[in-house]
Structure 1
Amino acid sequence: MKQSYPIAPKHPYVHQLHGDERIDDYSWLRERDNPEVIAYLEAENTYTEARMQHTESLQTQLYEEMLSRIQEDDLSVPYRYGEFYYYTRTETGKAYPIHCRKYQTLDAPEEILLDQNQLAEGTEYFSLGGFEISPNHQLLAYSIDTTGAERYTLFFLDLATHQLYPESIPDTASFTWGNDNQTVFYAQIDAVNRPYKLFRHQLGQSAESDQLLFHEADDSYFLGIDKTRSEAYLLLSLGSNITSEVYYLDANDPNGEFRLIRPRETGIEYEIEHHTDTFYILTNDNALNFKLMQAPVSNPSVEHWKTVIEHHEDVFLMGVSAFADHLVIYDRESGLPNIRVRKLSTQEEHRISFPEPTYEVSESINPEFNTQILRFGYTSLVTPSSIFEYNLDTQIRELKKETPVLGGYDRTQYKSERLEAIAADGAKIPLSIVYRGDLDRNGRNPLLMTGYGSYGVNYPDVFSSTRLALLDRGVVLAIAHIRGGSELGRKWYLDGKFLQKQNTFSDFITCAETLIQAGWTDRDHLAISGGSAGGLLVGAVINQRPDLFRAAIAQVPFVDVVTTILDTSLPLSAIEWEEWGNPNEREFYFYMKGYSPYDNVEAKAYPALLVTAGLNDPRVSYWEPAKWTAKLRALKTDTNVLLLKTNMGAGHGGASGRYERLKEIAFEYAFLLDQWKIT
């Protein structure tokens, strides 16, 4: 089937700021209610389908291959909470998990709490937001989104009768129970999806009678409500990208008043953990990589803070978790995550060791406070996701489950390495790679490099069974841990934001050049991918060095940087000023315009490109990738394929449900393999 690509008509719109004039020919694509816009997106989807038609059998093969590696009937590791063991399980042919529990022993009859498959019936998209059992284990609060727009509706379920309470509360974010089992605190979102109000709800009452407890008027702050793991206190957290403020309330007194711990001070971040009569406070106050303080619950104001863990230039302190007689400390050093354990009664400390050159660890579900058992997750580029139980006293760890990979996966057939690329200013950029051990390293190997490099987010070195479809076809996979993330500490993040954002893109380009120079690949076989702010990364580097890459995938890419961040009617725009800068200020405006992918499209050759979007995406509006694609079509001088694929019923995360998600991955892999001529 021959299909010509759609041509978006030009309707010039002029932006003027700081004496600068920007002409936007495709601004009209923002008009979501305009039938011509929907028709254009559908025409792009038709064109994409036609151009990819010759890969349909490959897509099917990839999908079936990836599905065959998944144990469809599976069970999570049950965890003890109160008198129950809670777990989720999946069934063959069903897209979503089923939430269950057993009373006192794992041999007890199963009680199904919530079947997401039933809730998802008749919906094109489904996402479970929060899921929280009441303190007496008789009630369940949960929230769902059926559009992908991340506007969740809160429901309450009686677990004895399995009847829903009559009230439901739309447009909610975080929520938690008071210890009276009748009071629920929830955050409500505004028109641009910002959690900005805290309400107190009495179970069984109309939401119209809910009491407003807090209204955060500053558009750059998000509001969240949570409960300490000790279940003793509710925490109201307010935060921008660079500033925090926390209030606390005795969970046994849900009708009481929240009390402030420390007033917000621009640039000061802190978070709270509770232990008996003490609050532990993780903060960056005079501590770039954060330090740990403590204060009495009776008077936790800043003048009573005392140092527990000093600041270290080479160790990024990321979090702490309090148990009855232990503090579990999470940090990063030399680009790798660590877990340290401090016994509170003796102040003795030890570190949990991990054997691989690159890996990821994270705290798993640990609802019990009075225990010496820590449950954590471990994975690497070659080790499937695993759950361990670790005795904090005896230092003995036990593997409770490793996610099964069907089809005879043998990790010894694959190798992972940690490399370094050296930036022009001398910065050492970590590179994680994984490949088959029998790879014929000939300098022409197909290689897919990905990265993120924004918001201080670390790109995790985790296992993915779907990647085996590429590895087994001789593809090398690389992760560039570029500046803008926090892999090497807080400075690594700060060196990739604001007026140093170009470091993020330059680092990625340096990583690509390093892989070529080291003989892992060449320009004809190097592909890149990234999503959201990682899509910005892709867009920026193919503008700056289009000659370096054979192909690129930009998933829901943030590419119209200046226009979006100037428009405070859009979700997240105001809060983004603390990440990218405020373009209302002349210096930031011209700096951002200098790397914004949409603003820098030129008449030149670009790599083959697959762009994805979600019509209901509240984070990166569909029109950003749509406009970018239209401008690229009008200006690029090459004959390489350019595809736009818009999910017309989903948001930022793409399709929901494990089967539809696998089909999306198969489509993207087929695009890459087609470009590499691997059939």
Structure 2
Amino acid sequence: VAKKVPFTVSAHGRSWSDPYHWMRDTSDPDFAALLAAENAYADAFVGAAGGGGLRARLAAEMRARLAPSAVSPPQPWGPWSYYQYVPNGMEYPVLSRKLRSSGGLAGRFLSYLSDWEKEEVLLDWNEIAEKFGYVHIGSCRISPNHRFLAYTLDTSGGELFSLEVKDLQSKHVIFSPPDKGIVSLAWAHDSENLLYTVCDETLRPNQVFCKKMQSDEAGLLVFMEDDVNCCVDITSTKDFKYITVNSNTRTSSEEGFYFNFIPNTNAFCDVYHIYLVFDCSF
């Protein structure tokens, strides 16, 4: 039974009693003791109910109501078809792709002979979960040349995502910065520059970095939002020519400047005071 501590809350000309207001202080040792007692009670109740097999029976009933596998519709892009599916008996999805046929009966026959229907696994959530015990993939972006896969992942459950870039030819992770709290990703048209946002200590996305894949240098800071009321998000246009940096509040959204990426340099130049857009075409 949780303790009660007298406390009065007042707002909008009204007052009421909140004896459990003390629970807002999660460092209170009584709060940790209460959670431990609640968990112990729940474990004892479930362990004793149904002859001790209630938990296993409930889990079996829920699994029986789930489809053995789930597959997303294939998304054609360039020479590939991308899709996700949950393998039978697994908890997490797998991102895969297959080469598309050239069209027509002859094209499909040649595709069959050349093994074009062979699946290529790009990212298996289950392998990561087996290593860390848990995984949550946030953003997941394929580069325009279909060679790199950039994704954010959380392996602790704390919603602090890290970034990994995988070379789909070598199957190795080639870039993994130490930053935590990475939210959105966007590839430049050349597939060599990846832009990503990083959160501050309050978990507000406020910085945009640009990383060149073939360089050993760390990501370059190209934009910072100083307004604590604004969160930064980045997206790319469908042709990957432009990357927009969007500064959003709860009630507004704006692109404040227009930037043009200078080829073969790490410089961005202010062109128009209209939109914040990175021109990453070379």
User: TM (normalized to structure 2)?
Assistant: 0.76
SS for the counterpart of 2:40 is helix
Q: 2:7 and 2:146 mapped to 1: Cα distance?
A: 57
- State the match for 2:60 in structure 1: 64
Q: Deviations over 1:468-507 (max 9, x none)?
A: xxxxxxxxxxxxxxxxxxxxxxxxxxxxxxxxxxxxxxxx
List aligned pairs for 1:165-204, cutoff 5 A: 165-168=174-177, 169-203=179-213
AA matched with 1:174: S
* Counterpart contact for 2:71–2:83, Cα < 8 Å: yes
Q: Contact conserved, 2:166 with 2:175, CA < 8 A, in 1?
A: no
- Pairwise CA distance, 1:163: 1.2
Give, in angstroms, the shift of residue 116 of structure 1: 0.7
For 1:31 and 1:112, locate their aligned partners in 2 and report how far apart those are by CA, in whole Å: 46
Amino acid of the residue matched to residue 217 of structure 1?
A: D
The structure with higher relative contact order (CA 8 Å, sep 6+) is 1
State the AA in 2 paired with 1:102: K
Distance 1:140 1:262, change over 3 A: closer
CA distance in 2, matches of 1:58, 1:206: 55
Give the gaps of 5 or more residues in structure 1: 1-5, 264-271, 273-679
Shift of 1:13: 6.1
Instruction: Tell me, in whole angstroms, the C-alpha distance in 1 between the residues paired with 2:9 and 2:227.
Output: 26
- Equivalenced residue count is 257
Q: Distance in 2 between matches of 1:120 and 1:183?
A: 29
Q: Cα distance, 1:16 vs. partner? A: 7.5
Say if 2:4 is the partner of 1:42.
no
Percent same amino acid at aligned positions?
A: 29
Q: Match of 1:474?
A: none
Q: Which amino acid aligns with 2:184?
A: S
Give, in whole Å, the separation in 2 of the partners of 1:242 and 1:176. Answer: 24
Separation in 1, partners of 2:201, 2:14: 31
Rounded Cα–Cα distance in structure 2 between residues aligned with 1:84 and 1:251: 29
Pick from 152, 165, 188 the counterpart of residue 161 of structure 2: 152
In structure 2, what residue type is equivalent to 1:171? G
Give the secondary-structure state (helix, strand or coil) at the position aligned to 1:179.
coil
Alpha-carbon distance in structure 2 between the residues aligned to 1:79 and 1:252? 33
Q: CA deviation at 1:225?
A: 0.4
CA distance in 1, matches of 2:8, 2:65: 52
2:134 maps to what in 1? Answer: 125
Question: Match of 2:63, SS?
Answer: helix
> Which one-letter code corresponds to 2:39 in the other structure?
N
What residue number does 2:145 align with? 136
2:223 maps to amino acid? F
Matched AA of 2:199: I
Cα distance change on mapping 1:226 and 1:102 into 2, 3 Å: same
How much does 1:58 deviate?
6.4
* Offset at residue 240 of structure 1 (A): 1.4
3-state SS of 2:180 partner: strand
Quick check: 2:128–2:134 contact (8 Å CA) kept in 1?
A: no
Q: 1:256 to 1:113 in 2, by over 3 A?
A: same
| Equivalent residue, structure 1, for 2:107 | none
CA distance in 2, matches of 1:17, 1:78: 53
Structure 1 residues 124, 192: closer, same or farther in 2, change over 3 A? farther
1-structure distance, mates of 2:44, 2:78: 55
- Which runs of no fewer than 5 residues in structure 2 stay unpaired? 102-110, 278-282
Q: What residue is the counterpart of 2:86 in the other structure?
A: 90
Deviations 1:250-309 (A, max 9, x none): 68968544755469xxxxxxxx9xxxxxxxxxxxxxxxxxxxxxxxxxxxxxxxxxxxxx
The 3 A distance-change label for structure 1 pair 122 and 162 is closer
Instruction: Output the TM-score relative to the length of structure 1.
Output: 0.34
Q: Residue 238 of structure 1 aligns with which residue?
A: 247
Alignment of 1:601-616 (within 5 A): none
1:127 Cα offset (Å): 0.4
Q: Structure 1 248/80 Cα, relative in aligned 2: closer, same or farther at 3 Å?
A: farther
Q: Matched residue of 1:121: which SS?
A: helix
Task: For residue 170 of structure 1, give the secondary structure of its aligned residue in structure 2.
Answer: coil
Aligned residues of 1:98 and 1:115 also touching (Cα < 8 A): yes
- 1:192 is paired with a residue of what secondary structure? coil
1:7 paired to 2:17: no
**Partner Cα separation in structure 1 for residue 131 and residue 25 of structure 2:** 28
Letter in 1 for 2:154: D
CA offset digits 1:557-580 (Å, max 9, x no partner): xxxxxxxxxxxxxxxxxxxxxxxx
